Every structure is written in C-alpha cells, then in structure tokens.
Structure 1
Amino acid sequence: MTKAIMIQGAGSNVGKSILVAGLARAATRRGLSVAPFKPQNMSNNAAVTRDGGEIGRAQALQARACGLQPHTDMNPVLLKPESEVGAQVVVHGKRLTTMKARDYGKMKATLLPAVLESFDRLKTQADLIIVEGAGSPAEVNLRTGDIANMGFAAAAGVPVALIGDIDRGGVIAQLVGTHAVLPDDDNALIKAFAINKFRGDTTLFSEGMDIIADKTGWAPCGIIPWFADAWRLPAEDVMDIASRKGGSIKIAVPKLNRIANFDDLDPLSATPEVTVEIVQAGRPLPADADLVLIPGSKSTIADLAHFRAQGWDIDLLAHVRRGGRVLGICGGYQMLGTEIIDDEGIEGPPSRVAGLGLLNVVTTMQDDKRLTEVTATHLDTGSSLQGYEIHIGVTDGPDTDNAWLDVAGRREGAASADGRIQGCYLHGLFSADAFRTAFLTTLGAAPAAYGYEDSVERTLDALADHLEAHMDVDTILSCAAEV
C-alpha cells in the first residue's frame, strides 16, 4: 500500500524543495521507503539521471535524502527557460519541444497522462511518495489544465499540506487568501498547513496560527525557524545563488541571464578557504579575483552578448593580463573559444558569433544533446571525478591538445599553453575533494581537508532533525492518503 502527501506553497520560493528533502530524510529514517515527485518543475539547474535523462536538481537532492538514485519519473515535466517568453519542454527526461509560455499554457493539460504514468510507476516502488508543488495554487487563473498543483492533486487523489513563508511578511493573508480564492473541491484537498522561515521567538506567532486554523479549518503543523545551513545543500533556484564570504581565495562568478547547472559553485562556497563572489549585471568583475569562473548557460550565444553588454569581456582581459586564471564550464567553456557556429539555428536565428578568444577552440552547435553521467580522471593529479555532461555543441581546436581530463579514454577539455585558461564540459568536478583541493592550491592557498559529500549528508540529517523539532511531522505523515 503506497501513500502520498503533497507539499504546496502559498507562493514561489517558500522553501518547498528543502522541506520535501527534510521530510523525505525524516520518513526514511523511520524505516519507510520514500520517493520524491514533482509533476512539473521550471529550472535550468538540472541533474542527469542514470536512465539518461534530466530532472530538476531539487528532485535529485530529494532522491538523495531518500537514499535513491535520481530517475526521470521523479520529475516528468521540466521547463527550461530559454528566453523571457519561452522555454524548452522536457518530458520523461528528454526534450520534447521549445515553445512560448502562452502556447505551453494550452498544451500542458495534454501532459497529465505522462505525469500520471510516472507517478504510477513510482507507486510500485515506495511506501510513501512526497510530492512537491510549483508556484502557488492560489494562481487560480492557471487552474485550467493545471498539472503542477491542484490539478495533479485532484487527478491523483493526493492530499495537500500548504506552506506559508513568514519571512516575506503577510503570511496570514498568504494562507487565508489561498483558502478564499480556491474552489471548494480544491480546498477540500488541503488538510494541514505550516509556517516556514521564521526568525526569532516562534511563540510570538501562536495567535496567528490560531487565526489561520480558525479561518481555514486546516490542521496547524508547526512554525519552522529559518534553517541556517540550507546554503550547504545544492541549490536549484536561481534566486538562491548568493555570494559566500570565506577565506583568501576569491572566485568571481559573473551571473549570466540564463545561468544553468550552477551546482558547480556549491562545493566551492562550502570550502572555508574560498570566497565566492557572484557578480551581478552592471557591476565589474573584481580586480582582486584569483579565478574568474564562467558557469554553464542555457543559451550560450545570448548570454555571451549579455556578458559583453556588462563590459565583462574587457574586465576579463584585464584579469588575464594581471596573471589571473579563468575556468569556463559547459556554456562558459564555449564562450571562451574563438567562435560559436550555430548554422542550424539551435539557439535562435542561424548565426556565427565571435567568442572571447581566450582559448583556440571553435564550438559548433548541434541538435543532438549529450546527457550522461561520467567518471573522469584529472590528468595532472590522477584524481578521480564523478560528474555529468549536459550540453549541445561540439568543441574542437588546437587547445584541445591541452586537454586536462580523461573520460573513459576520451580526452576532455582545453587549456591555453600556459594553463591559466581552462575549459571543459564536465559539471560536478568540484565535488571531488582531492581534485578541488589540488585545483585551489594552484590559486595560491592550501585548503584543509574538507569532505563535501559528507557535509551534504550531515546537512540533510540536520535538516530532518530541525523539522522533527519544529514541525509536526507525525501529523503531516498522517495526512498522507493511499493512492
């Protein structure tokens, strides 16, 4: 018998992803087999799965909290924004199409069978499925054809716990207002509520909890204080990217418009000797940076234009003249070359664009997308790396003769003759402690031993402890219904 509970939010970024991960770890520690599920996600920070697809990185973290490998059934529909009005639509881990938001609104109802198909498969593998909503069910203008919140909950018969974010203010209005605008059938699915991101003395909001319970009829399930160590967990939402003050090694990261797969930054931010500075649009690259790291991008050519528009290309050349180092990962790697060729119009109108010219390589965009987990070796140190590739395009040229990674006998990456400019397609390389330490040592410091993966596990356990202490986990789990 499989049960399910859905965690929805009274708004975006209320902490649903983190709460699902914590509840998943708490339920798993109670001896249940647990699986995460998010019907529809929107993120450019994707994880590659063992079955050769991609899902939102939050579901990969939640799978880890359950002790599972990520699978495409955990997030059957993934939207990857490519412009202000359009996104790539990924279904069951594979690109289906690219379309404008207005057109997707008409199409999404047709994806409900694919969503339920994945949910049905998960039901055969777990005692409990913890489902994460997207955005807010109060967006009743989007209710027709909905597959992300109440549309899915109603179709699958899954009860809901609603989360409010007190850090934004107006949390009573968030929750009571949601109750007021939802139709009766949707309201009947909501069984409980909780308040997240509280700072200070939680007893000060006890009257507020009573007011919400009285006006909605939902069971109160706790006031959850701000979890200060959330930043130690891999982030999915671009809103969660933040500078992190650490030690003397400064790594500057220009924040691209379509930044993607920025989990590469997480192990660096967690290393005590490292300061990661996220450089916002309109601000120069810092002159005292030891390394400029150009991250992945969902739209390399558009983000290269954005990079130049900020004057970062000029700043980068000055950084190199000062002896600074540069690393480009995936889209950032493509930008570092001499040219990006998109004759087929993969990223927009057919074009050929000059790159930053710091690596003697050329990238040719191709429609075939590479999605794979890889084991690699760092050639200089022999360190083993576990990572993934998720990109379109093939990069080649003289500087690939200076490849610095080996992937199953295939040389990967490129470097300048002096080794100060490097690029590669491999995401996740900094999660490997030995490689990260060796790489940072070349920047002028010797980091102490730090186990990043162990830190993530400890933080998931600490998150579960946090929820057990401040949330009525028993009541939340008791709301789960057989599906």
Structure 2
Amino acid sequence: MFQGTGSSVGKSLLVAGLARALVLRGHAVRPFKPQNMSNNAAVTEEGGEIGRAQALQARACGVLPGIHMNPVLLKPQSETGAQVVVQGRIHATARAREYQMMKPSLMPFVLHSFARLREEAEIVLVEGAGSASEINLRAGDIANMGFARATDTPVVVIGDIDRGGVIASLVGTKAVLDPADAALVRGFIVNRMRGDPTLFAAGMAQIASRTGWASLGLVPFFDDARRLPAEDAQDLANAPRRAGTRCRIAVPVLPRISNFDDLDPLAAEPEVELILLRPGVPLPGDVDLVLLPGSKATIADLAALRAEGWDTDILAHRRRGGRILGLCGGYQMLGRFVADPDGIEGPPDRVAGLGLLEIDTVLGGEKRLARVQGATLADGVPFHGYEMHVGQTSGADCARPLLRLDDGRVDGAVSADGLVAGSYLHGFFADDRQRAAWLHRLGAASDGHAHEAAVEAALDGLAQHLEQHLDVEAILRIARAGGATP
C-alpha cells in the first residue's frame, strides 16, 4: 500500500507507473484505492463509476476498469458535502461530519472489493488517500492505516520534495503514527526531485536513520506526467503559449468542475492554446471557442460563473459571432433554466440558465453511466466517449441534436445558426477523428496527434523511469512478505 505524507504527492502516478513496470515484467497486477475523493470519474465496464486515476491505473495494468478498484468514491458538491458512490453506484449524500460517522459501515464494501481483486491478480497495488498522518481522522478510517491494519497490508510512504519540507513530513509522519500502524511501514519514497539527485543523498540517509524505514528510491520529476489525466482540478495548469498557435479555447475552471480530462487532448495539440480561466481573470475577447466543462453541481457552478462575471463575457463572445460548446453540466448551463426539484445536487432550486440554447433541464431520475460511440450528425465524423449524468434536457434546439449514438439515440442540441452546441457526452475529444473535425471548424489543424497512443507511451515512459529510480525488487519483496514483521 502506497500512502502519502499529504495530498498530491504523486501517489496515483507512482502506482500507475509501477503497475505498468510490473506488468512488463510479466506479473498480473490490479490497482485498488479504498476511498477516493475526486470529481474526475470514469465509467466502468459494469456501468458504474470510479475515480479517473484508478481507470488510468487499470489501463497501466492492461485490464478494463472495474467498480471494485475504487469501492468508495466521494464526489464533492459543496465545501462541506459530497455524493458518496459505493461500488459504482450512488449510495448517499453526506456532509463531512456525517461521512465520518458513515465510514465504519463502508468497510465491509471495501474489504469485499479488495478480496475480489486479490482473487484476480498476483499483486494488488493499493493507493491511500490524503495523508497517512491525519490522526484526527484515524478512528473508523478506511482509506489509509485503517485499511492497512484491517488487511495486514505492508505500507510504503511517499513524500514530495518539490513542495519542500520533505524530511520533516516523512519523519513527522513516523512520529505521529500509532506504533501498531507504524509497524506496517516498510519503506519510503521521495518523489519529484528536480536538479542533481546526489545533493539529497544525505537527506535520504537522514530520513532512513530517523524513521527506521528502508529507502526505496528518489524519483526525479517526470515531465511527461502532463500527458496523463490529472486527478485534482488544482493540478490543471495553462501550458506556455507555443509558436504556431492558430486556435484559442477558453475554459472557465469552476469550483466543482468534473471530468476535466476532456481537456487533455486539446491541450496536447500544437495549434491550440487552451486557456484555463481562474477566478479573477476575465474571458479574453479574441478566443475562438468557449468550452463550458462538466460540473458536479450545475446550479452552484452557474452561480459561481455569474459571480465572476463570466456570463457577461460569454454573452459578449456570442454577440461577436463566437462559438460556444457545453459538455454535460456545461450543456445544462447553456439553456433557459436548470431545475433541481429533489435537491439532487444541493438545495432544491430552479435557476435561469445562460439562455444560449432553447433547452430546459430538470435534474432527477437514474444516473446514466455508459460507454458509447456514434457520429456527429452534421458531418458524420465518428466518436467514442461516455455518459455520466443525471437529468433530462428538452426544448426546441434538441430537434437539432449534435450526435447520433450507435444505439439509435441522439444527444445534445445545436443553435439555429450552429454557433452554440451542447452534449451530455464526455471523452469525444480523445477520439482523434472527432478532435480533428472540431479543430478544422475553428480554423486550425490537428498535427495527427494520436491521443490514446500518447497516453500509452507516457505510461511506458513512466514505468521505465521508475525502474531506473526505484528499488522495484525491494518493493516486490515487501509485497510478498505481507504485513508480517520482517
């Protein structure tokens, strides 16, 4: 089990890279994360949902993603509350304190899923959540040491040198852990080293001496990690503007943005400048496309968009003849109103939308989770993607759908002049054919970038990187020994 000194120390990518390295060695490997908190989710083969990071790790293992790889997924809807997804399906909505009381009842689901994966694989790589040293949350814990103790799983602790204070964070973790928890820790990894690694040799020795944990590697910063899906919206960043940019796409980064890996294929295109708008930054007046991304709480994010004044900027962009595309929650925002009569995403409410499409949305009913494929109606360009939404959208512009699915259904809506469009589909920019068609409409061209192949190459590169800088043999010995005291 790989736990961290804190959030965003690189646990997800290290597990993905190590999984690919072990698969290349001939091992049968599965990823597992007992509890995840992310609005970047993926649809599984069973029609459930798990964290996007575990879907990437499954890909690294060469297997399809399944609900047991992430049995508890928390999808934040507010500063203090989240939707609780258990084994792929919505289980409850809970505030933070309510969830703390709920956690013990979720451990049986976690243990059941873990047992299923152990039956399938030779090695299960477990990813912790947040920080191993959150002793204030230790009671009832299912994500870190609570899980490790319940399953007698050996632990490796990861620290991030790039954020500073890595010696104190690792030594401090050992200092605050309950002795029985600390006894499960077998080693440590220091991640994201920049510069000369020999300059931190003494630091590695000091950590080993003060903790008694084995030093398993100092991992240099891996630049191609940017080609892999980010788990946290805070990891999204604007790339430097490149020479030859012909298309500018602006994306408001709303507080509850979801499924933001929809943006990754666009960001990788040399002729595209993807502008991620953070609070306090106005929408540039010369962009070619405004892309409204998915949202875990459409009404709340629509209020945030208005509070930033981005609604005014978007309407001005529309008056100038600019193009607008909404995906899922962003699609719902483009209509005349969004209603949530049952309080699915927050307090029951009905609010005006941006009024750029003649559609209305009512949230409710079963959540639709499915992998789909089809073609755009206007030009017949194929796509593949997935649905992950709650609600029904109707209205005059739905008579001009954007997409036709292979199962005969249609999806989305297009304005009468063709400049505003929306769809419930995620992931279709990852289809090279569909992405190239969109860029052509915007006056740019794809360089032939093969997105799926680039992800595979990045995983292979990460595996090679970890083989070079981690003691993989020692990690295998730890896994085979289990939680028994060495």
TM-score (norm 2): 0.97
Q: Distance in 1 between matches of 2:177 and 2:365?
A: 42
Question: In the aligned structure 1, how far is the partner of 2:282 from the partner of 2:262?
Answer: 22
Residue 144 of structure 2 corresponds to residue 152 of structure 1:
no
The answer (yes or no) to whether the contact 2:162–2:194 under 8 Å persists in 1 is: yes
1:284 alignment partner in structure 2: 282
Partner of 1:116: 111
Aligned to 1:447: 446
Aligned equivalents of 1:44, 1:393: Cα separation in 2:
17
Is contact 1:158–1:481 with CA below 8 Å preserved after alignment?
Answer: no
Q: Which residue of 1 aligns with 2:471?
A: 472
Tell me, yes or no, if structure 1 residue 343 matches structure 2 residue 338.
Answer: no
| Cα drift, residue 198 of structure 1 | 0.6
CA displacement 1:104-148 (0-9 Å, x = unmatched): 111101111110000000011001000000011111111111010
* 8 Å contact from structure 2 (residues 397, 413) kept in 1: yes
Aligned partner of 1:3 in structure 2 is none
What CA distance in whole angstroms lies between the structure 1 residues aligned with 2:462 and 2:300? 38
Q: What is the match of residue 183 of structure 2?
A: 188
Quote how far apart the aligned CAs of 1:64 are. 0.2
Equivalence for 1:308? 306
**Residues 390-415 of structure 1, C-alpha deviations (whole Å, 9 max, x = no match):** 11111111111111211121111101
Aligned residue in 1 for 2:363: 365
Deviation, 1:439, is 0.6
Aligned equivalents of 1:412, 1:84: Cα separation in 2: 32
Q: Tell me which residue corresponds to 1:20.
A: 15
Q: Which amino acid aligns with 2:24?
A: R
Cα deviation, 1:15-37, whole Å, max 9, x if unaligned, reads 00000000000000000010000
Task: Pick the aligned partner of 1:8 from 3, 18, 21.
Answer: 3
Q: CA deviation at 1:292?
A: 0.4
CA distance in 2, matches of 1:330, 1:44: 13
In structure 2, C-alpha distance between the alignment counterparts of 1:384 and 1:7, rounded to whole Å: 40
SS in 2 for 1:480: helix
Deviations 1:409-461 (A, max 9, x none): 11111011111101000000001101100111110112221100000000000
Cα RMSD after superposing both structures: 1.0
Aligned with residue 378 of structure 1, among 355, 376, 379: 376
1:225 paired to 2:220? yes
| Contact 1:378–1:405 (Cα < 8 Å) also in 2 | yes
Deviation track 1:199-245 (CA, whole Å, cap 9, x = no partner) reads 00000000011111111111101111111111101111111111123
Q: Distance in 2 between matches of 1:55 and 1:348?
A: 22
The answer to whether structure 1 residue 60 and structure 2 residue 55 are counterparts is yes
Q: Secondary structure at the match of 1:124?
A: helix
2:456 alignment partner AA: E
Q: Equivalent residue for 2:415?
A: 416
Q: What letter is aligned with 1:449?
A: G
Aligned pairs (5 A) from 1:76-91: 76-91=71-86
Which residues of structure 1 form unaligned runs of 5+?
Answer: 1-5
Q: Paired residue for 2:480?
A: 481
- Give, in whole Å, the separation in 1 of the partners of 2:480 and 2:150: 13
**2:233 is matched with which residue: 235, 238, 241?**
238
Structure 1 equivalent of residue 332 of structure 2:
334
Question: How far apart in 1 are the matches of 2:339 and 2:412?
Answer: 18
CA distance in 1, matches of 2:201, 2:346: 53
SS at match of 1:437: helix
Residues 346 and 367 in structure 1, CA contact (< 8 A), matched pair in contact too: no
Q: How much does 1:271 deviate?
A: 1.2
* CA distance in structure 2 between the aligned counterparts of 1:482 and 1:68, rounded to whole angstroms: 25
What is the match of residue 264 of structure 2? 266
Q: Which residue of 2 aligns with 1:249?
A: 247
Amino acid in structure 1 at the alignment position of 2:230: A
How far apart in 2 are the matches of 1:202 and 1:51?
44
Question: Partners of 1:78 and 1:337 in 2: how far apart?
Answer: 30
**What's the secondary structure of 2:42's corresponding residue?**
strand
Aligned partner of 2:273 in structure 1 is 275
SS of corresponding position for 1:456: helix
Give me the whole-angstrom Cα distance separating, in 1, the residues matched to 2:396 and 2:414. Answer: 9
Instruction: Tell me, yes or no, if the aligned pair for 2:187 and 2:213 is still in contact at 8 Å.
Output: yes
Point out the more displaced range, 430-439 or 365-374.
365-374
Give the deviation of 1:482 after TM superposition.
6.0
User: In the alignment, is residue 433 of structure 1 matched against residue 459 of structure 2?
Assistant: no
User: Could you list the per-position Cα deviations for residues 57-80 of structure 1 after superposition, in whole angstroms to 9, with x for gaps in the alignment?
Assistant: 000000000001000000000001
Structure 1 distance, partners of 2:341, 2:3, is 43
Aligned pairs, number: 478
Q: After the TM superposition, which of the residue ranges 12-21 and 242-251 deviates more from structure 2?
A: 242-251
- Once the two structures are TM-superposed, the CA of residue 52 in structure 1 deviates from its matched residue by 1.1
Letter in 1 for 2:455: V
Q: Say whether the 8 Å CA contact 1:365–1:393 is kept in structure 2.
A: yes
Is the contact between residue 251 and residue 277 of structure 1 (CA under 8 Å) also seen in structure 2?
A: yes
Which residue type is aligned with residue 101 of structure 2?
K
Deviation of 1:367 after TM superposition, in Å, equals 3.6
Q: How far has the Cα of 1:98 moved from its partner?
A: 0.4
Residue 143 of structure 1 pairs with residue 142 of structure 2: no
Instruction: State the one-letter code of the partner of 1:150.
Output: M
* 1:144 counterpart SS class: coil
Answer whether contact 2:77 2:346 (CA < 8 A) is retained.
Answer: no
SS at match of 2:425: coil
Task: Measure, in 2, the Cα distance between the counterparts of 1:56 and 1:308.
Answer: 29
Q: Distance in 1 between matches of 2:83 and 2:426?
A: 20
Q: 1:205 aligns with which of 185, 200, 207?
A: 200
Amino acid at match of 2:276: I
User: How high is the TM-score relative to the length of structure 1?
Assistant: 0.97
1:297 alignment partner in structure 2: 295
Distance in 2 between residues matched to 1:277 and 1:252, nearest whole Å: 5
Q: Is the 8 A contact 2:342 2:348 kept in 1?
A: yes
**What is the aligned partner in structure 2 of residue 179 from structure 1?**
174
The answer (yes or no) to whether the contact 2:246–2:443 under 8 Å persists in 1 is no
> What CA distance in whole angstroms lies between the structure 2 residues aligned with 1:349 and 1:194?
44
Deviation at 1:373, TM superposition (A): 1.1
**Equivalent-residue separation in structure 1 for 2:458 and 2:22 (angstroms):** 16
Q: Is the 8 A contact 1:257 1:306 kept in 2?
A: yes
CA distance in 2, matches of 1:448, 1:27: 33
Unpaired runs of 5+ residues, structure 2, are none
